[in-house]
Structure 1
C-alpha cells in the first residue's frame, strides 16, 4: 500500500483526466508508476549490461598485474 500526496493543481488535473476516461485516480496513478518503474528499471538493466560488456573486453592481464602489484605493496607495508 502506498499513499501519495499531490499538490492541489495536480490532484485536480488527475481528477479531470480520471473523470474523462471513466477511470479512478488510483488506476491512473498505478499505471503511471508502473510505466515509470519499467522505464527506469530497464535503463538500469541496460547500463548494467553495458558495463558488463565493457568490463569483459578489458585486458585481464592488466587487471592481474594491478592486483599483483597491490599485493606486493601491501606485503611491503607489513
Structure 2
C-alpha cells in the first residue's frame, strides 16, 4: 500500500483523465508508476550490462600492473 500526496493541480488533471477514460485515479497512478519503474529498472540493467561487457574486454595485464603499483607504493610507506 502506498499513499501519495499530489498538488491540487496535478490531482485535478489526474481526475479529469480518469473521468475521460472511465478509470479510477488509482488505476492510472498504478500504471504510471509501473511504467516509470520498468523504464528505470531496464535502464539500470542496460548500464550494468554495458559496464560488464566493458570490464570483460579490459586487458588483464592492466589490472596486474595496477595492483603491482599499489603494492610498490604500499611497501614504500612501510
Say yes or no: TM over 0.5.
Answer: yes
C-alpha distance in 2, partners of 1:53/1:5?
41
| Cα deviation, residue 69, structure 1 | 1.3
Q: Give structure 1 stretches of 5+ with no counterpart.
A: none
Separation in structure 2 between the aligned mates of residue 26 and residue 71 of structure 1, nearest angstrom:
58
The 1-side partners of 2:66 and 2:21 are apart by 61
Mapped partners of 1:77, 1:35: distance in 2: 53
Gaps of 5+ in 2: none
SS at match of 2:65: helix
User: TM-score, with normalisation over the residues of structure 1?
Assistant: 0.93
- Residues 1:65 and 2:69 are matched in the alignment: no
Once superposed, what is the RMSD of the aligned Cα atoms? 0.9
Structure 2: distance between partners of 1:36 and 1:44? 12
Q: Which runs of 4+ in 1 moved over 3 A?
A: none
Tell me how many residue pairs correspond in the alignment. Answer: 78
Q: 1:39 aligns to what?
A: 39
